[in-house]
Structure 1
C-alpha cells in the first residue's frame, strides 16, 4: 500500500479553500486516496465534506494512503507513489495555504 506522511501548512487547516484545493488535486489523480491522522481510520480524500469534517488543523501530520487492492489496474505502484508525493507537496505548499 503506497503511503506518504505530510504536514498541513494552511493556517486554517483543511477548511474551505485549502480543503477544496487539496480535494481537487486528489480527484485529478484518479486514485482512491484516503487521508487520516492520529491512527484514526482514513476518510475519502476525494470528498470535500469528509476532509473538512475531520479537523485537520495547521501543523498536524496526516497520512495519505492508497490501498493496494483499490489501485486501478492502469496505475503502477510507482505512479501511485508519485501521485502521493504530489499531494504531499500540495498540503505542504502555499497552494493550500
Structure 2
C-alpha cells in the first residue's frame, strides 16, 4: 500500500477547522485514505472523529496511505493539504 509521511503544517494541528478541511479532501478522493501518527493505528481520513482522535499537533509527522487506482494522486492531494498552515488568515482578510 503506497504511503507518504508529511509534517502537519497547521500550528494547532488537526483540530477544528484544519481537521474539517483535511477530512473534506480525503472524502473527495476516489480511494479510501487512512492517516496515522506515531504509536497510533491508521484511521479513516474521511472521518472527522477519527482524525481528531489522533491528536496530531502542528509539527507532528503523520503518515497517509491509500490503495487502488488513483492512490498516488490521492496521496499527493493529502500531502499538499496537510503541509499547509490551515490556520493562517486569508491574504485578503
TM (norm. structure 1) is 0.82
Match in the other structure for 1:16 = 16
Q: Counterparts of 2:38 and 2:83 in 1: how far apart (Å)?
A: 18
Where does residue 73 of structure 2 map in the other structure?
82
Unaligned ranges ≥5, structure 1: none
Aligned to 2:44: 44
Give deviations 1:53-73, integer Å, cap 9, x for gaps. Answer: 21010000000012x4xx3xx
**Could you list the runs of 5+ residues in structure 2 that have no partner in the other structure?**
88-93
User: Is the helix fraction higher in 1 or 2?
Assistant: 1
When the two chains are superposed, the root-mean-square deviation of aligned CA atoms in Å is 1.3
Moved over 2 A (4+): none
What's the CA shift for 1:31?
1.6
In structure 2, what is the Cα distance between the partners aligned to 1:60 and 1:45?
16
Query: Whole-Å Cα distance in 2 between the matches of residues 45 and 25 of structure 1?
Result: 9
Q: Deviations over 1:23-55 (max 9, x none)?
A: 000001132111001142101101001101210
Aligned to 1:58: 58
TM-score, with length taken from structure 2: 0.85
**Alignment-derived partner of residue 5 in structure 2:** 5
Q: Secondary structure at the match of 1:63?
A: strand
Q: How many residues align?
A: 87
